[in-house]
Amino acid sequence: MGIRTSALMLVAALMFSPAMLAQEHAVSGQAILKLTQQYVDAAPKRYIGSPGHDAAEAFIKEHFKPEVAKGNFIDDRFMARTPIGPLTMHNLIVKFPGKKDGIIVLASHYETNYWLKDIRFVGANDGACTTALLIALGQYYREHPPQGYSVWLLFTDGEESINKEWTDQDSLYGTRHIAAKWSADGTIGHIKAFVLADMIGWKEMNIDRESNSTPWLLDLLAKAGRDTGHSKYLFKESQAVDDDHIPFRMRGVPVLDVIDFEYGTADNPEAYHHTELDTMDKLSATSLQVSADLFVDLVKLINER
């Protein structure tokens, strides 16, 4: 009787482990991969000012019709000063109201590089798959409204530089703008965490310990890895990355950059980054499932902190 009871308890523990519960409630990596393909087909070249950029905005908006109807989809249109003159850019914000005072921002950039406009650069890993990830997370939070802090999705524009040479002035246009705007209107004081997704669809993905991120959020990412059984995909490399979280970090917001900056071969770790080799065949549903599971668990853990 005691042996049978122990066996039943072991089965129950396995059935209801945190990893399996997280897997059960996470969105589908295969669905994200399919959505990424649809996005790349609709807007393969999404550099600012192009028809593809307009198509990318339309694609995102099309997936949030219920939020548009409720007034919870915001087109944050602004004019940016760039090395080639003023350019109109659009941050797209989708709000899922919660029950506690506070906001968790989940972000990713959706455009491709202006300086790569003359080659066949589709940015499958660098922008497309994380855009699809945010869309899928939005569908999840539509069906499972936040019970804690509100969740805002931020599709950022102008993350990439206009010129080939990245500088502090020629990059991060969208987040520099929205961080300043939210600082001026008081929104920034309600943001509990800014969590960024970048380049996390590669089939050989291993997410960096990004050292510009807030330490307690890196700790929560490690815990999310344990919760979901995905620790092996975390922290093989450690480095600082200039990315869309920086303007929020500079204003005192807790930030986390979930990124795998190495994207290439053993001989050249950046062989695919910002080249026409950044294509759909480099991605995997497994990596996107890992990413989705981590993000869903991170939101839960931030609420529990």
| 14 belongs to a structural domain | no
Whether residue 20 lies inside any domain: the answer is no
Residue 17 lies in a domain: no
Strand 73-82 and strand 85-96: the pairing is antiparallel
| 2, part of any domain | no
Predicted confidence band at 23 (pLDDT cuts at 50, 70, 90)?
very low
Q: How far is the C-alpha of 94 from the C-alpha of 188, rounded, in Å?
A: 16
Pair of tokens at residue 95? 């709000």
Whether 20 shows a pLDDT value over 80: the answer reads no
Model-wide pTM > 0.95 = no
CATH code where residue 267 lies: 3.40.630.10
Q: Note whether residue 7 is domain-resident.
A: no
Number of CB atoms found within 10 A of residue 5's CB: 9
223 within 8 A of 137, measured Cβ to Cβ: no
pLDDT digits (tens, 9 = 90+) for 179-212: 999 999 999 999 999 999 999 999 999 999 999 9
CA atoms of 248 and 34, how far apart (whole Å): 31
- For the chain, the domain total comes to 1
Written as six digits, the tokens of 206 are: 């291993």
Q: Give the range of the structural domain holding residue 275, as residue numbers without chain letter.
A: 25-158+166-304
Report DSSP letters for 177-210, one per residue: HHHHHHHHHTGGGGEEEEEEEES--BTT--EEEE
In a domain, 98, yes or no: yes
Taking alpha carbons only, the member of 160, 127, 131 closest to residue 62 is: 131
Give the pLDDT confidence of 37-78 residue by residue, as tens digits.
999 999 999 999 999 999 999 999 999 999 999 999 999 999
Q: Is residue 8 part of a domain?
A: no
